[in-house]
Structure 1
């Protein structure tokens, strides 16, 4: 479940990073990025074309933008703690590998400069997560304990993210920073397999895996607020760094400049 946080972060951050390099000005932005102008009537078409043209590079990684290879995407460690509702768990996932990012559908990519609004909607047919895990706690009053290898397959994940910015001045130039972020996601199915639950008790472990797969929807709803908050915090920290490094005119220049 946690993999969605990092995937969305990288994709939304990528969309904003691909917007432009202004004419006649020095910039650290890579020259292969397509120029899009904030006062152009074709802004959204240009932004989508920019995103789509960059997808092959995205899968292999873009060192100029500090983006690692995304097929598969590798994450050293993910931590998640939940201590409310029906779930009380402390879990750690290490050496995480996520596959399936390249097979996605972009439904919407829109920018509203007058509102400093960036929106993205995207669907992944299947995402597969493999990692080493350690987990301890309770789910719906049932003990949960284990460490070993795990696999999680997520089916038809659709995410919609809206990011709202605000302007401020830095060294005489206009920059943006995050004012608000709204995230929604839906998924069709989750299937997971946690090996070595309950110190290797295969019967107990299988019953717990069966329970998790049969009740994935209610469990997903329990952790939804936590996931959204984590995603918003990560997006804010990451994209504010991008906005601080490049001015508004560098990221999204005006035709009237």
Structure 2
């Protein structure tokens, strides 16, 4: 499909992160572009976006490839969560199948600093299994999808933070649910952990600033962090900032203008 050089560059932004939200705001006012934000639909009330929003899955690589072709997408920006490995893998394969460029905004992972007490694991299940056998006060920042895995160790007194409010499941009799949306502040998490007597934190190495408060709070209170390492994702072109992603989009717009197609 030939695109006129003066028509808007069509961008699919795979979102769900603070970086995606910031990039969406920047793209919304750019008349050179026609961008769409795609969200997985895992939260009931996503943050409002200035871009047109598509909610829900694509149906794997084939479904995403079909969407890219039908919508005549020119560029794909993967700004999903670092643990959305399946979506990222599908995006890599689909963009390659259709023959369009893909860029990922990849936050640097958190690194251990002085005073941190971390144990690192390769999976959520391993991190939960690494908790002591005796009942503990545990803060879980693993997300709603990890709740079934917590039921493998139901003896603990869990404080589970999720975006959407819900009741604790029956198979976690000592769990308390709290609904909150980041970014969070370290002083608030220090107060939260102190009030609930938290001695262990379950976390995924998401990187970035929005969710780092729990790591800082654990450090200051001497709490052990059970950290899940990021899943491996195939090689792809990456940047670490919204500004670099905007520069990448501009370069591709200029290239298309120079080619005159």
Query: Normalising by the residue count of structure 2, what TM-score does the alignment of the two structures yield?
Result: 0.28
More strand by share: 1
TM-score w.r.t. length of structure 1: 0.28
